[in-house]
Structure 1
Amino acid sequence: MIPASVTDQFGVPIEAESVPRKVADPFDFGGGHMDPDRAANPGLVYDVDAREYNKFFNCTLGSSHGCESYQLNLNLPSIAIPDLKDHVTVQRTVTNVGAVRTTYHAVLEAPARVVMSVEPSVITFVKGSSTSMTFRVSFTTKRRVQGGFTFGSLTWSDGNTHSVRIPVAVRTVIQDFVADTS
């Protein structure tokens, strides 16, 4: 996870390079514009073991045993829920690479028509404890509609130096077989 911003140097939202021009969404900018100065001291990182990637790639090649779990829970610095019908919970793990005694608070920006929560909402790293913490993010539809993707974010903030943001993309669906091209 490299610290990034979703606004330019003037505080204006990033635009997608498309015709017509539009405000960029996480599919356009990912985590945002990279900030190399902040990358030297990110505070938290989302590590992925190569074995987990191998399991994920096997799922993309047609293996279906346990694949939904890998697709939703691969420890990426983003969350994508392509078919939210009612409720789903995903899991991520952050590793503290900053100061030993640090507390982070979750700041949520829920996608439209979705209730989003994180547990625990406060994570604390102290000397002698683990440098990694696992958390769960739950998503529940507010309205059952067949829709396009809506976007939000989850940011872990220490209230001082670090603000570690990941994009969230959720698409609500009513039926699996209904295609939506919006």
Structure 2
Amino acid sequence: MLIQADAVPRKPADPFDFGGGHMNPGRAVDPGLVYDMDPKEYNKFFNCTLGLLDGCESYQLNLNLPSIAVPDLKNRVIVWHTITNVGPVEASYTSVDEAPAGVALSVEPSIISFTTGGSRSVTFKLTFMAKQRVQGGYTFGSLTWSDQKSYSVRIPIVVRTVIEDFVADTS
């Protein structure tokens, strides 16, 4: 059954309407991986949204939230995120990406491993490339880290391709 958006009749819901998905309380207490962030980063983000700091565009793209938004993809954008292992000490995860429509997506590294005595956190790079030179609306995808056994950590991705900054988004 298709979920409908609340504010607009007959509009199918998208991740802007339903967020990252449904919560499973049992799995939430043992997620395997988390997108951890120092509370100070929230303060910097808040100051960026108020226009109190310069150079915030790159910072906002790389904010280590459990979601990724690229609002103005012209050609290519690189985003960095860090995941922290809170599950078994010995673990290996493989990335499974679902690229938004009209966008090529690559994840490096695509396999991450955690070992005894090694780091609990790994930073990975996502490269977004516009496949079409169009002024587009928002398209959605996801990135999932899976250990192929117990853990599957999925985050939503939203991208809007643009040709020119001054062209209004009418979608």
Matched residue type, 2:136? G
Per the normalisation by structure 1, the TM-score is 0.89
Q: Deviations over 1:101-138 (max 9, x none)?
A: 10000000000000000000000000000101100111
Is 1:39 aligned with 2:28?
yes
Rounded to whole Å, the distance in 1 between the matches of 2:89 and 2:5 is 38
Quick check: 1:81 aligned with 2:70? yes
Q: Structure 1 14/39 Cα, relative in aligned 2: closer, same or farther at 3 Å?
A: farther
Distance 1:13 1:39, change over 3 A: farther
Structure 1 stretch displaced more, 92-101 or 54-63? 54-63
Give the aligned partner of residue 118 of structure 1: 107
User: What 5-or-longer segments of structure 2 have no aligned partner?
Assistant: none
Inter-partner Cα distance in structure 1 for 2:81 and 2:8: 35
Instruction: Give the match's secondary structure for 1:32.
Output: coil
User: C-alpha distance in 1, partners of 2:8/2:40?
Assistant: 40
**Structure 2: which amino acid aligns with 1:104?**
Y
Paired residue for 1:108? 97
Alignment of 1:178 onto 2:143: no
Q: TM-score, normalised by structure 2?
A: 0.95
- What SS is found at the alignment partner of 1:23? coil
Give 2:16's match in structure 1, choosing from 27, 35, 60. Answer: 27
CA distance in 2, matches of 1:172, 1:136: 19
CA-based RMSD of the aligned residues comes to 1.3
2:137 is aligned to: 148
Determine the structure 2 residue equivalent to 1:94: 83
Superposition deviation, residue 38 in structure 1: 0.9
